[in-house]
Structures are given as C-alpha cells and as structure tokens.
Amino acid sequence: MTNTITNATVSVRGLQKYYQVVDQKYHILSGMDFEVKSGEIVSVEGASGVGKSTLLNILGAMDSFDEGEVDVCGVSLKNLNERQRELFRAEKISFIFQQHLLLPDFTAIENVMMPLLISKVNQKEAKERSRDILKLVGLGERTESFPSQLSGGESARVGVARALVGRKQLILADEPTGNLDRDNSRHLMDLIKDLQKEFQFSLILVTHDMELASMAHKRNRILSGKLTPIAG
Ligand SMILES: Nc1ncnc2c1ncn2[C@@H]1O[C@H](COP(=O)(O)OP(=O)(O)OP(=O)(O)O)[C@@H](O)[C@H]1O
Ligand SMILES: [Mg+2]
C-alpha cells in the first residue's frame, strides 16, 4: 500500500466513476473534490440514485473508480489489489450499514468481537473490549443474546458497537437509522454523537434524514456528480 502525506483523513481529487451499459457511458461521479479532516462529521445527502452509496463504497475500497486520486487514512486507493483492499479495510475503516448485518448464529458479543479476531487481537482482550463497548451502547446486559432475540434498535446498537470496537480513524455509515422508527433513530443518533466526542473518529454519514444530517459538522449533497456544500 502506498502511504501518502496528507493531514486529512480523506482527500479526494477529480474522482470519476462511470458505468458502461452497452455503448453508453453513465457518469455517476464526475470530477468530485473534497476533504474530510480528522474528527470531522460530514454528511452526504442527495436524491435516490445520485451515487451516495457508490461514493461510500469507493472510500471503503469496496468499489473501484475510473479517474482521480482517493487517499483514505494515508493510503492511496488507486492501484490496490484485492489483498491490499482487504488489509486496508481491516486496518483503517469501519462500516455501519442500514441492515446491521449481524451474523445470526453468533451472540451480540461474538458479533462485536469478530473484527478484532480478524485483526488478530487475542480472544481475552477482544472479549473485554467488546464487553466494554456493548456497555457503552447500553447493552451490557444483552451480551449473550442472539440477533433474533434483539429489537431493531438493539441490533442497530450492536452494529455501532461492532463498528467502533476497532477504534478506527474513519467510520463510514450508510443510512444507519434507515430501518428504525423516530425514537430509535434519535437514540442511535445521540449515541453516535456521544461516541464520536469520546473517540474523535471521522464520520461520513450518508443519509436522507435531515434530523440525522443535522449532527454533521459539514453538510454536503451530491448534485450532478459533484459533492456540493449545503449552505447554513
Ligand atoms: N453495476 C451497475 N451498473 C450500472 N449502473 C449502476 C450499477 N450500480 C449502481 N448503478 C447506478 O449508479 C447510480 C448510483 O447508485 P447508488 O447506489 O450509489 O445511489 P444512492 O445515492 O446510494 O441511492 P439510494 O439513496 O437509493 O441508496 C444509480 O443510478 C444506479 O442505478
Ligand atoms: Mg444508497
């Protein structure tokens, strides 16, 4: 992996992403430039289909891109092979998804431990750290519950605990409250806000939800393939 010199957690220059369908090129992202600094919460808003998830997946090295420079946590994502992408994801970033994607056959604490075990943290330490973070998200009493025994809001909080347990510099969240009712959304939003203050990670927050977006330090929308600041 190439390490780059930049103070920003994320630096994007001239990013282009298009899909070729038969002989027609569809530009999804067309010359995007932006930075996310350390400890910043940045929203990415915009209508359905404008490319929000595409952008997030590119930043998480889950998807490729066609032109430009994308540096995330000191790594240039341009020419990584599959093994380097896996390493990058394991070491540098975490995702919070709308579907929390908990493994159904594992308990809450085992789900949270998973990324640590993949990163070769030993079992005992992984368990302690996972228990601590589950306490922080208010699930100290539910560590042994299986996903099917948890409510939607509780599952979402396990997803947040799993994303945060690795103490990564950057969290990528795609509609993290998308499946929740208003009370649970607010609860999750407050929780993420508090945890961000404590751990100071950078957060890129893809959302349709204005209330959730309002927690961002900087709000942006994707418009015509570019990331544009939202005034105010
Ligand atoms: N493999 C593909 N081939 C062609 N077009 C694709 C492909 N994958 C995604 N797209 C198109 O790229 C565009 C951006 O999709 P993306 O999922 O990033 O949108 P989004 O902003 O996240 O939308 P939503 O708010 O509905 O989640 C869409 O128009 C989609 O149809
Ligand atoms: Mg999407």
* Residue 171 in domain: yes
**Calpha distance 53→62 (Å, rounded):** 10
> Would the CB of 29 count as within 6 Å of ligand 1?
no
* Residue 133 in domain: yes
* Residue 3 in domain: no
**Calpha distance 109→208 (Å, rounded):** 30
Which residues, 6 or more positions from 213, have their beta carbon under 8 angstroms from its beta carbon?
Answer: 43, 45, 205, 207, 219
Q: What is the pLDDT of residue 53?
A: 95
Q: Whose CA is nearest to atom 7 of ligand 1?
A: 19
| AA identity, residue 55 | L
Cβ atoms within 10 Å, residue 32: 23
Q: What is the pLDDT of residue 224?
A: 94
* Residue 1 in domain: no
* Residue 2 in domain: no
DSSP 127: H
Q: What is the pLDDT of residue 69?
A: 97
Q: What is the pLDDT of residue 230?
A: 94
Count Cα atoms within 13 angstroms, Cβ side, for 187.
14
**What range defines the domain where residue 168 resides?**
10-229
Q: Among the atoms of ligand 1, which is closest to the Cα of residue 19?
A: 4
Residue 230 structure tokens: 């939202």
Q: What is the dihedral of CA 208, 212, 213, 218, to 10 degrees?
A: -150
- Average pLDDT for runs of 10 along the chain of length 232: 66 96 93 95 95 96 96 95 93 87 95 93 96 94 96 92 94 90 88 91 93 93 95 72
Q: What is the pLDDT of residue 65?
A: 96
**Calpha distance 40→53 (Å, rounded):** 19
**Calpha distance 4→110 (Å, rounded):** 35
CATH number of the domain where residue 50 is located: 3.40.50.300
* Residue 5 in domain: no
Cα 55 to averaged position of ligand 1 atoms, centre (Å): 10
Q: What is the pLDDT of residue 2?
A: 52
For the chain, what is the domain count? Answer: 1
Residue with tokens 């420079």: 69
Provide the residue count of the chain.
232
* Residue 119 in domain: yes
* Residue 169 in domain: yes
> Would the CB of 53 count as within 6 Å of ligand 1?
yes
